[in-house]
Structure 1
Amino acid sequence: MRKTKLVIIGNGMAGVKCVEEIIALKPVTYEIVIYGNEPRPNYNRIMLSKVLQGEHSLQDIIINDWSWYDKHGIRLCAGQTVNRVDTRAKYIETESGKREAYDILILATGSSPFVPPIPGIDKERVMSFRTIDDCTRMSEYSKEYRKAAVIGGGLLGLEAARGLLHLGMEAVVVHNAPYIMNRQLDHKAAAMLQQELEGQGMSFLLAKNTQKITGRSQAQGLLFTDGSRLEAQVVVVAVGIRPNVDLARRSGITTNRAIVVDDYMRTSVPDIYAVGECAEHRGISYGLVAPLYEQGKVLARTLCGQETPEYKGSIPYSQLKVSGVDVFSAGEISGEGMQTAIQTLDGIRGTYKKVLMQAGKVRGAILFGDTAEGTALLGLVQRGADVVELAPREGAQDPAEMAAAALSDQETVCACNNVTKAAIMKAIQEDGLQTADQVKERTKASGSCGGCRPMVAALVKHTHNLKNNDGDSAILQTKKKTEMPVCSCTELGHAGLKEALNHILASREGLVGVLDHSPAGTRQMDLTPIMQKLNWGSEHGCAVCRPAIRYYLQVSGHTTNEQETMSGQHSAVEERTILVPVDCATEHFHEARIRWDDHTPLSSYARDVGGLAIQLRGRWKDTAMPSLVNIGVAPGPGSLVSALVQDIGLLASPAGWELYAGGHAEHPVKEGRLLGVAETEQQAALLSTACLQWYRQTAWYDEPLWAWAERLGFMAIRETLLDDQLQKELAAFQHDERGLTSESEGRLYRETPFVQGKA
């Protein structure tokens, strides 16, 4: 049976990343052919400056060598430029006249250096900095010439200038703005960077506009609009990039600045997609690797027929090493209504930090010299977090390590290679890694642009310190050292707060006279004595910590022993008097929202979708959750409700019901993983209920279900919930807590056969 032929035009990072994802999902689905106009395999363009500076060789920056294409049956047509696409007959044609038919076509043509219309731009020894061949030309020029000018004071221009210095040339950076890297930095950070680069031998001419490149046939220098001149025998132009859209435009595909795509990377022509720097999504074309990789993943899942959340765009950020100096920038760093939330300068260490806010929300950040906090700050910018989350942590010995500790396990540390904090720490622990270089070899974290290396180094130190402090019995002190505070009122993180509350409630120490008897078997509690007991910085707390305390008190009435259960020693559910804060009735807690699809035509294995959804809604209505929970019930894969991107997704299947957990439809997009398969609606409700109850008892307040699943480990949760006894105990407790007094319903929970897992 003939495979579907998938042709990719472009052998760059975005297109090949998409191919890698397709191979991982469905390795035998497509016959894959890749056309690239460079005569070499896929390489990391971000690392070109490192090659120019002598830190790496060409082989070091190859992402996939020739053998990788052979191994996966991919035909690479290297050194061949495609100049036409016949969208009706569905074939492409190269400059040499070769034709290749396709079933599906991906345009990953990338971008080219933008060449400004400066007189003399076409003279000899005037060049761009974009490819391996450009590096070779610069190296050859350095053997004969000494004076070079770089037009452009952005990241690429600075890296080119640093490479020229390494080659022994004099390098002058010419920039039309009043300070360098003006799109990523403010004036202060730019001045610090300029001072550092001048110390390395670089020179700068700022607020200069080039009128022409002088010389007859070869570059001799620059003439500026103010009449001044600069002698230069080599001129490197690095003022930006331009998406390669000519091929698409000639072929009748809709283009604007780049190739226009929708949220699934589809172009205006059926069976043709675009991804990477050549694609324009919602009016934006990205030139950074992280958004391009996100696009590639969405496209791969689309082509493999798997449900996937649409691509909604990305928050631009840069975490880079500019000529040996660590620099980080994220979000909006200027604009109307933008205010400074935090600004610190350490002249001795040469570090600078600035966080910007708008209407009380974190909107942008700049770090210079020490970028260890970059990943954590990026998360705040992406979420539009309240500025209260920027509260300083007193007593921190090492800011970098504290930032590493504060980072949530699911946060991506290395965007270039999609490596999370949890993956890095796991590698350090399991393989005994001692250095950031060893982590790079094992996980690829910091192996591309190198911008995340400070955080990787901090995680190495943090992981080893945690290991050395395992014997510390002072729970509160340990939590202070390793957790981000809940808010500025306390040094405790969520784990420390939860343990402290459990300790106080168990001992009743210091709470004499603050408990009032109330009807219905509950007791009301004032929060003030508890805050005093925990050395709260504010008498009445704040809008961040009060709901967290109330939630932990509410779920502490009935609980399982989390540590014993996760280690496999399942104990019966403990029952305690339920303690309800006195103002709990007026407090808004997160809830569970249930959606189901009763419009999609039902398949032959259709189940009682509405019945199961209504059953779950009745059980979870008005129940406090750590974070908003979205539950979706779908009659099949083609449903209007996507089960794979819900916190809890139930999908009808030939075997009964597939239950997925940990999905998320918004940024960061997460696909739910299979928790188990149930034969009946009753069994599906049982497993769903057990999962939600386990989440309620073990999650931190405001922790989404997907983040909880990554923190505890999905396989550990799965093994826990597929234990017959614990599954029934959790479901039975939820039944009792909700006050559902029907004996038959309670017996149903306790006697329903437990749900079998399916690997």
Structure 2
Amino acid sequence: MEALRALDRDLPITLVTACSGDRYHKPELSVALSRGQSADDLVRESGSEAARRLGVQLLPRTFVTGLSPQPRRLRTTRGTLSYTGLVLAMGARPALPEALPEAHCWRVNDLAGWSGLQRALADGPARVAVVGGGMVGCELAEDLARAGHRVSLLDRHAYPLAGLLPEAAGRRLLAAQRALGIAVRPNVAVAGVERNAAGERVVQLADGERLVVDQVVAATGLATEPRLARQAGLDFAGGICVDGRTLATSVPGIFALGDCIAIEGQPCRFIEPLARQAEALAHALLERDHPGYRHAAPVVRLKTRQLPITLSGRPDPDADWVTVSDDAERLEMEQRQGERVLATLSVGAGRRAA
């Protein structure tokens, strides 16, 4: 909306959203519990305030039920809307394996999910199992531990962030988590979760062990809901396929950005490129000159105070990592292809040498 309004003050814009439309910074969800923040603290601007400021029609708590590219109709629970241009920014939803029933697991992917977890933990220290050792799981596990809860981090891999980090870095992260009091359980698979008579959650592990906790948080990745895209005939490959320069989909008049898209067959689920995507999309939708969006691997920063991690570039899963420096405070590594640096990695505190 911001990018469109910056180009055209009079363009009629309608925002359809299943939530209230309140504006907040999503990365703060994984550090807010230990800061003692509430949902109200995280909201930077209410949906109604933002709508008035930008001059848009807001349809909050409204769900899309269908999309017909011809004759350009969007069906919602509050009626059918006609459009000239349509932007899909519907994000991605947590991917819950069958072993993690929705009724027994929290998912922290939006303010509503985070608020529910916060309320469930409001009575004091609790036993919490976090399932998944990716970025979200690692950040939430630390945040929960710093907020005073007893945290078990359950991961299928030998060390956290195994799909992103070389083993030397992953082992450092594992040691840092345990030093904070997180009970990290590597190489385990969850076979199921149920609730016992006392209201506790019983996590059944594949090896037969049972872990009794108060709450379970699922951090097992994201998936783009394909229903709307397929109904409208949009190309879909793990996300809504868009042109890498204009963010246009395969159907004229429909654009997409954010967590729901795929560029060159790869999902693009990062916060950092959103502003650049929005600027390029707005120019393309309004047919204004613009060099277009240029997708590049964003800098990945793990928001863990115990052990900050920064990854830059596009790592090659088949290339070797080389240690540049290694001491008790910091680990520096990089991948090279000839003279070209593919990726760099910084693990720990301190400042990297020039």
TM-score by length of 1: 0.44
Q: Which residue pairs with 1:208 in the alignment?
A: 188
- Compute the displacement of 1:304 (Å): 3.2
Which has the greater radius of gyration? 1
Quote how far apart the aligned CAs of 1:351 are: 1.3
Contact 1:159 1:323 in 2 (8 A): no
TM-fit CA distance, 1:337:
4.2
Q: Is 1:272 matched up with 2:249?
A: no
Q: 1:87 aligns with which of 64, 69, 77?
A: 69
Aligned 1:558-707 pairs, distance under 5 A: none
CA contact (8 A) 1:356 1:364 kept: yes
Which residue in the other structure is 1:336 paired with?
318
Compute the displacement of 1:206 (Å).
Answer: 0.2
Taking the aligned partners of 1:132 and 1:323, their CA distance within structure 2 comes to: 22
Report the alpha carbon displacement of residue 145 of structure 1 after superposing the two structures with TM.
7.3
Distance 1:62 1:215 in 2: 33
SS in 2 for 1:277: helix
The answer to whether structure 1 residue 353 and structure 2 residue 335 are counterparts is no
* CA RMSD, Structure 1 to Structure 2 (Å): 2.4
Counterpart of 1:351 in structure 2: which amino acid? R
Q: CA 1:283–1:186 in structure 2 vs 1: closer, same or farther (change >3 Å)? A: same
Distance change (3 Å), C-alpha of 1:97 and 1:304: closer
Residues in 2 aligned to 1:40 and 1:305: alpha-carbon distance in whole angstroms: 27
Alignment partner, residue 662 of structure 1: none
SS in 1 for 2:49: helix
Give the letter for the 1:196 counterpart: A
User: How many Å separate the matches in 2 of 1:246 and 1:23?
Assistant: 29
The equivalent residue for 2:341 is 362
The equivalent position to 2:129 in structure 1, one of 142, 149, 155, is 149
For residue 90 of structure 2, give the secondary structure of its aligned residue in structure 1.
Answer: coil
CA–CA distance in structure 2, aligned partners of residues 201 and 300 of structure 1: 47
The 3-state SS of whatever aligns with 1:248 is helix
Q: Extract structure 1 runs of 4+ deviating beyond 6 A.
A: none
Does the 8 Å contact 1:145/1:233 carry over to 2?
no
SS of 1:226 mapped into structure 2 = coil
Q: Deviations over 1:194-233 (max 9, x none)?
A: 2222222211000111122244586532222222332223
Distance of 1:69 and 1:113 partners within structure 2:
28
**1:150·1:172 contact (CA, 8 Å) conserved in 2?**
yes
Contact 2:107/2:114 (CA < 8 Å) preserved in 1? no
Equivalent residue for 1:128, pick from 103, 107, 117:
107
Distance 2:43 2:102 in 1: 31
Alignment partner of 1:315 is 2:297: yes
Map 1:318-717 onto structure 2 (within 5 A). Answer: 318-340=300-322, 342-347=323-328, 350-370=329-349, 373=352, 399=353, 403=354
Is 1:45 matched up with 2:26? yes
Q: Residue in 1 aligned with 2:170?
A: 190
Shift, 1:355, TM fit: 1.4
State the distance in 2 between where 1:280 and 1:257 align.
7
Unaligned 5+ segments in structure 2 are none
Query: C-alpha distance in 2, partners of 1:64/1:136?
Result: 17
Matched with 2:287 is 305
Whole-Å separation in 2 of the counterparts to 1:252 and 1:23: 29
Relative to total residues, which structure has the larger helix share, 1 or 2? 1
Using the alignment, how far apart are the partners of 1:273 and 1:332 within structure 2? Answer: 26
| Cα distance in 2 for residues equivalent to 1:327 and 1:152 | 18
Q: How many Å separate the matches in 2 of 1:57 and 1:227?
A: 38
Structure 2: distance between partners of 1:79 and 1:130? 17
Gaps of 5+ in 1: 1-18, 374-398, 404-759
Return the alpha-carbon distance in structure 1 between the equivalents of residues 112 and 202 of structure 2: 23
Say if 1:328 and 1:371, in contact at 8 Å, map to a contact too.
Answer: no
> Of the candidates 197, 221, 229, which is equivalent to residue 240 of structure 1?
221
What is the CA deviation profile of residues 581-638 of structure 1, one whole-angstrom value per residue up to 9, with x for unaligned ones?
A: xxxxxxxxxxxxxxxxxxxxxxxxxxxxxxxxxxxxxxxxxxxxxxxxxxxxxxxxxx
State the match for 2:158 in structure 1: 178
Give the counterpart letter for 1:243 in structure 2.
T
62, 65, 90: which one aligns with 1:109:
90
**Residue matched to 1:161:** 141
**One-letter amino acid of the counterpart of residue 101, structure 1:** S
State the partner residue of 1:27: 9
For the residue of structure 2 that corresponds to 1:252, the secondary structure is coil
Separation in structure 2 between the aligned mates of residue 71 and residue 310 of structure 1, nearest angstrom: 27
Question: Paired residue for 1:138?
Answer: 117
Q: Is the 8 A contact 1:69 1:76 kept in 2?
A: yes
Partner of 2:278: 296
Structure 1 pair 219/248, CA: closer, same or farther in 2 (3 Å)?
A: farther
Greater relative contact order structure (CA < 8 Å, 6+ sep): 2
Once the two structures are TM-superposed, the CA of residue 328 in structure 1 deviates from its matched residue by 0.2
The count of corresponding residues between Structure 1 and Structure 2 is 350
CA contact (8 A) 1:338 1:358 kept: no
On the 8 A contact 1:41/1:78 being kept in 2, the answer is no
1:39/1:78 contact within 8 Å kept:
yes
Residues in 1 aligned to 2:149 and 2:321: alpha-carbon distance in whole angstroms: 42
